[in-house]
Amino acid sequence: MPNSPTPLTQAIDRYLQFMRAEQNKSPLTVETYRQSLDLLPEFMGISDPREVNKGSVRVFKSALHSYRTAQGREFMIRTKNHHITILRAFLRYLIQEEEMDIYPPDRVTRFQESERKVKVLFAEDLEKLLQAPDTSKREGKRDRAILETFFSTGLRLAELRSLNCKDINEKTREISIRGKRGKIRVVFLSDRAVEALKDYLGSRVDHLTPLFIRSLEKASNIMPPGEEFRLSRVSIWNIVKKYALKAGIVSNPSPHTLRHSFATDLLRNGADLRSVQELLGHKDLGTTQIYTHVTNPQLKDVHKRCHGK
At residue 15, φ and ψ (nearest 5 deg) are -65, -45
Query: Does residue 1 lie within any of the structural domains?
Result: no
Kindly state whether residues 161 and 270 are assigned to the same domain: yes
Query: Does residue 210 lie within any of the structural domains?
Result: yes
What's the domain range around 293? 123-300
Catalytic sites, residue numbers: 156, 180, 256, 259, 282, 291
- From first to last of its 309 residues, what are the pLDDT tens digits of the chain? 356 899 999 999 999 999 999 988 888 889 999 999 999 998 998 999 999 999 999 999 999 999 888 778 888 888 899 999 999 999 999 999 999 999 999 999 998 876 566 788 888 999 999 999 999 999 999 999 999 999 999 999 999 999 999 999 888 999 988 877 667 888 999 999 999 999 999 999 999 999 999 998 898 888 999 999 999 999 999 999 999 999 999 888 999 999 999 988 888 888 888 888 888 888 877 777 777 765 555 555 655 666 555
pLDDT at 115: 58
Rounded distance between C-alpha atoms, residue 278 and residue 255, angstroms: 19
Last residue of a domain, one of 73, 107, 141: 107
Per-residue buried b or exposed e for 244-263, using 16+ beta carbons within 10 Å of the residue's own CB: beebebeeebebbbbbbbbb
What's the Rg (C-alpha) of the chain? 22
Query: Does residue 100 lie within any of the structural domains?
Result: yes
Kindly state whether residues 96 and 130 are assigned to the same domain: no
Number of domains in the chain: 2
Query: Does residue 2 lie within any of the structural domains?
Result: no
Last residue of a domain, one of 107, 137, 156: 107
In this structure, how many other beta carbons lie within 10 angstroms of the beta carbon of residue 210? 21
Query: Does residue 186 lie within any of the structural domains?
Result: yes
The domain that contains 22 carries what CATH number?
1.10.150.130
pLDDT at 285: 79
> Whose CA is closest to 120, among 283, 267, 307?
267
